[in-house]
Chains A and B, each alone.
Chain A
Amino acid sequence: MYEWDFSILWAYRWLFLDGVIMTVSLTVAVVLGGLAVGLVAAMGMLSGSRVLKAGSLAFTELFRCTPILVQLIWCYYALPILTGIELSPITASILALSCYGGSFYSEIIRGGIVSIEDGQREAGLALGMTPALAMRRIVLPQALRRMVPALMNQSILQFKNTSLVSVLAVPDLVYQGQIAAHDSFRPLETYTAVAVAYLAILLPLTLFVRHQDAKFGGAR
């Protein structure tokens, strides 16, 4: 029977804290980046222009149908060779994860927008709003409420997908865990602690959203 000894982890506490800070900062960046990319792609898909529509669709499917691990490696190693632009591991990670997340966000945002009855947009236009203003002030706020559970779900995936950036040697929680495991020869305790750290960050968030949704989800 294996003898657990979590006390050895105390020596690595600052390493883990650095990892948590990196993981959380990366998540904030790729959730915001992903939402921005997703919003632009969704607007492209909903626009009247065929070129914009095709471009958005191609982008979405390209990033949705290829593995994020491949995208990360490709962004870091292949992109600089093809374009001559050197990317730091963190920049490459944020770029790849934002595009990957954005391809999923875009479908959620597009679906939310088309679920709002056309009469809402028309009422805005009839009052003299431009299409852009009616989208921003009338359609999007209502669509956003409907999208919250799905956006939250995708953001949880974004959070967990940041664990893959360790392949580019970005010092996130998983990468620091690897260092601690190699150093202490205690991989079981180390990776258990890493898993618990992810759970401890996410669980309060998901419970909060579940609670909010139960409270406000029905009212429109």
Chain B
Amino acid sequence: MNRAMIEIQGLRKSFGTLEVLRNINFSVAQGGVVALIGPSGSGKSTLLRCMNLLVTPDSGRISVGDMEFDFGSRSPRPRTRALAAFRARTGMVFQSFNLFGHLTVLGNVMEAPLRVRRMPAGAARDLAMAQLSKVGLADRADQMPHTLSGGQKQRVAIARALAMEPQVMLFDEATSALDPELVGEVLATMRALATAGMTMVIVTHEIAFAREVADRIVFMRDGLVVEDGPARDVIDNPQQEATRSFLSHFHATPA
């Protein structure tokens, strides 16, 4: 269980003159669940987007499973096919769902198995229905995305990512765009995934959820990892002043 599923070394990224990630080192064990927390602009979303290469790092090394990429002036930019193959194995869930508006719920979940994995239509449909059942939305298969609630949309987005049978799942503030009463159903889906042994990295502002579900918490600020440790220790007994100050904003509201 201790083999690293995600390994990141010396990762740097700048947008223009703004240094968003400075020398990030970080790993996630197979089956591990890591929550990335930190104030806005700390670089946590950029780090997550680097993990499936939607953002190309300036330098450093990223490996997920048995695939590895080196970045830097001497390394050639990864080829389109290699990038696509890499991303096919890292599921990503976005803050704004990004469901495909022209496809039904089933169409959304089937699309990548059909076009990327080139599965036969029948097998892709069975796989998609199985994933939709897992998130409790099999009865919505034929609806269009715009008829769903925010919570349902995000659960479809999770099913869509799972249909590629990824090695890791990345969640980019998956509940931040939801009405408060809809957050619970998405967190429940994520909790079930974590229990089933999926390797997960979660960027979140749900501190109570992070404490409960993650086994490790990484606190970032200004593009640096400030604190990294077991979830309960970091939340209940932060070692760094920056972490304490950030978490104090959340203790005001009952978890």
Task: Give residues in A with beta carbon < 8 Å to B.
Answer: 117, 119-120, 122-131, 133, 137-138, 141-142, 145, 219-220
Contact = CB atoms under 8 A, between A and B. Distances in A.
Closest 4 CB pairs of A and B: A128-B88, A123-B98, A127-B112, A126-B92
B98 A127 contact: no
A220 B88 contact: no
Contact of A125 (B84, B115, B160): B84
Interface in B91-111: 91-92, 94, 96, 98-102, 111
Nearest to A220: B101
A120 B81 contact: no
B164 A128 contact: yes
Nearest to A142: B102
A120 B100 CA distance: 6
B102 A127 contact: no
A120 B98 contact: yes
Contact of B54 (A122, A133, A138, A142): A122
A120 to B, nearest CB: 6
B121 to A, nearest CB: 15
A119 B172 CA distance: 12
Contact of B87 (A127, A138, A142, A219): A127
Contacts of A122: 54, 94, 98
A126 B160 CA distance: 11
B85 interface: yes
Contacts of B253: none
A127 B164 CA distance: 7
Given A138-B111, A142-B101, 6 more contacts: A122-B94, A127-B112, A128-B112, A129-B115, A138-B100, A141-B102
A44 B112 CA distance: 26
Interface in B43-87: 52, 54, 80-81, 84-85, 87
A127 B160 CA distance: 8
A137 B88 contact: no
B52 A133 contact: no
A117 B91 CA distance: 20
A12 to B, nearest CB: 48
Contacts of A126: 52, 54, 87, 90-92, 94, 161
A138 B116 CA distance: 13
A123 B116 contact: no
Contacts of A145: 102
Nearest to B53: A125
Contacts of A141: 102
A220 B81 contact: no
A93 B61 CA distance: 57
B94 A129 contact: no
Nearest to B91: A126
A122 B99 CA distance: 11
A149 B99 CA distance: 25
Residue of A122, A124, A128 with highest tally of chain B CB at under 10 A? A128
Contacts of A138: 100, 111
A127 B54 CA distance: 11
A177 B163 CA distance: 62
Given A129-B115, A133-B115, A137-B111, A123 B80 contact: no
A130 B52 CA distance: 13
Contacts of B99: 123
Contacts of B87: 125-128
B112 A129 contact: yes
B136 to A, nearest CB: 21
B96 A128 contact: no
